[in-house]
Structure 1
Amino acid sequence: MSVTEQHTRTFRTALTVAAACAATALTLSAASPAQADSRADETPKLREGGVPEALWNYVNSPGAVSGANDWSCRPTAEHPEPVVMLPGTFFNLGANFVKAAPRLKNAGYCVYALNYGQTPASLGRVGGLGPNRESAAQLDAFVDKVLASTGASKVDIVGHSLGGNVPMWWMKKMDGAKKVDNYVGWAPSSHGTDLNGIVGLGTKLNLMGFVTHLSNVAGFPGVIEQTNTSDYTRELWADGDTVPSGPRYTVVMTKYDTVVTPYATQALKGDKVDNVLLQDVCPNDRAGHMGLFNDDPTLQITMNALADGPTDFKPECRDFGLQLL
């Protein structure tokens, strides 16, 4: 067996173990399944999923989630833009949007979700591993498909972690901003991450070149490209640190994030930008990076943004997300 084959097998095994560990952590962290919104003024047709559904979908339904990808859906006057959602690194749409997709669908939105950046190392479930530029091209094609199917002129984007990064490349480098009305990023890695100091240490020890080589061999360059020292990150912001004009931007951050660090780097600059730190509006919300997927204040902020609601919106502080990563 060649060295390259050994590296590939080793990293594929590592990815599988990482996914299993994440699933175990989610199980241990879950106190109870998230319940469907039971507000008196509406009766949701679809039940919102929680951690158990996310775990099940991760393995058994990585490409489908309740409420998303109904290609017969037609936007209404109240919600004219279809919503396109992108999951984070190592995840898939089936797991990442078990709570958000049903809520959006129940509210009357046409909802779509995309698994991008899958490679042979993905095992059909682990997303965001491929080169991010290629993932942006996949998003471009997917948005065009959504627009053609719905007849809409623009979409709304909701992305978690790398799912908020890839649309930024698409909007800045591929003229995608003209197709977007609202952008909502949950802990987006658009400015890169130092992985809580790991990248900084690796750079000082002159190890990042070695790590980058291994990532390309193993099939997950999209992971390393999210570092704040990568060529991808530098090129993304080479023409300035502001976002393209046109769309309205909302970023949801948590100070307990240990993945995209420092968390303050997630904030965006430019016209019509609203950066929200969860703990500023809900001080007791200890949701971590991963926990934003089932954090109710995050979903409330998302719904407000997509409805062009007030920038000083205050969510109800309830049903906090997982205190994980």
Structure 2
Amino acid sequence: MQRGGNVHRRGVVAGILSLVLVLWAGAGAAFAQPILPVPDSFLAGVPLELDNPGGSAPGSNDWSCLPSDAHPEPVVLLHGTGGAQQSNWAVYAPLLANEGYCVYALTYGNFPDQPWPMNAIGGMKPIDVGTAQVSAFVDRVLASTGASKVDIVGHSQGTMHANNYVKFFGGADKVGKIVSLAPLWQGTYGTEQVSIGKSMRSLGIDDEVQAGIPACEACMQLLHGSAFIDRMRSDGIYVPGIDYTNITTRYDEIVVPYTSGIEPGPNATNIVVQDGCEQDFSDHVSVAGSARAAGFVLNALDPDHPREVPCRFVAPVAG
């Protein structure tokens, strides 16, 4: 009887130890991959910039990051007019980092010699100036991570820099996918100055101070019929070998008409966030914070593992 009891006790102890090891391994995995909070509003980037001027959004610009086998291509985020590496990407930087991507963002086309907050207003200089900065930044990301290509997620003017880079700045062999939020392939009949004004007022820069800031040279290049747009379109928008996804919103008040961002092509997918989800009222700004748009972005970056795209109410501007 005693021998049988010992065997029973050893079995119980072994079972307990196995359970402890399983729980420990699960806890270790959790600690190895901390989950960053993901805001549900594009404007969440404003307090980040106010608290840490010129900083990076959580989850981005970790230069020790090494791409995983699941996500071998780092993701570079390109902000819109008046945006910056932190203020534009409060949603996407932690979202993508939580998914296991190495995530990077820069501020381009700004005035670095100006004091903050003027130096945090990007996308102001001529587009080729900003694209040259993007090119150098991508090279830095590739050197740091050891990757052969990056994927790019752009918003507004950032979508134009992504394609300018692969078409005219030697980036075609360094990019696998371009995912565009509120692109304007045909230019716009609206004005990006509206977007700049919104961005600066959210940072507490009133209209009087704005009047003393150098004019946005890139804005005029984004108008329909500009020399920049004509050059981009002259031999077709898309570069062969790159997968394009265009995510647009019917309520875009900056890209006018919103269909400027819908460009057919054999290597392109065009999406309108309201198709199948009428309660998403994303405008030009809040589409970069919409959970629905983010779902489309994740599926575009990892098409082999599609997930259900949510549909929920999104308010203009605030998200």
Match for residue 250 of structure 1 among 242, 245, 252: 245
Q: 1:45 aligns with which of 16, 25, 35?
A: 35
1:243–1:269 contact (8 Å) kept in structure 2 = no
- Max Rg structure: 2
Structure 1 portions without partners, runs of 5+ = 1-41, 199-214
Pick one of 79, 89, 95 that aligns with 2:87: 95
Residue number in structure 2 paired with 1:289: 284
User: Aligned partner of 1:150: which letter?
Assistant: T
2:99 to 100, 107, 114: 107
1:124 to 119, 124, 149: 119
Matching residue's letter, 2:227: D
What's the secondary structure of 1:184's corresponding residue?
strand
Equivalent residue for 1:232, pick from 228, 234, 241: 228
1:129–1:221 contact (8 Å) kept in structure 2: yes
Q: CA deviation at 1:152?
A: 0.3
- 2-side partners of 1:63 and 1:127: how far apart? 14
Change (3 A) 1:91 1:187: same
The runs of at least 4 consecutive aligned structure 1 residues that moved more than 3 Å come to: 50-53, 58-63, 321-325
Distance 1:192 1:171 in 2: 18
On the 8 A contact 2:45/2:57 being kept in 1, the answer is: no
Count of residue pairs the alignment pairs up: 264
TM-score, structure 2 as length reference: 0.76
Out of 70, 76, 81, which is 2:68 matched to? Answer: 76
Q: Distance in 2 between matches of 1:129 and 1:249?
A: 25
Encode CA deviations 1:7-55: one digit per residue, 9 max, x unaligned.
xxxxxxxxxxxxxxxxxxxxxxxxxxxxxxxxxxx88621113446322
C-alpha distance in 2 between matches for 1:175 and 1:105? 27
Q: Is the 8 A contact 1:90 1:128 kept in 2?
A: yes
Identity level (%): 34
In structure 2, stretches of 5+ residues that fail to align are 1-29, 194-210
SS in 1 for 2:144: helix
Which digits, 9 at most, give the CA deviation of each residue in 1:58-109, with x for residues without a partner?
Answer: 3343431100000000001100000000111011121211111101001100
Cα distance between partner residues in 1 of 2:308 and 2:257: 24
1:229, distance to aligned residue in structure 2 (A): 2.4
2:45 corresponds to: 54
Contact 2:281-2:313 within 8 A present in 1 as well: no
Return the letter of the residue paired with 1:70.
D
Alignment of 1:189-268 (within 5 A): 189-195=184-190, 218-238=214-234, 240-268=235-263
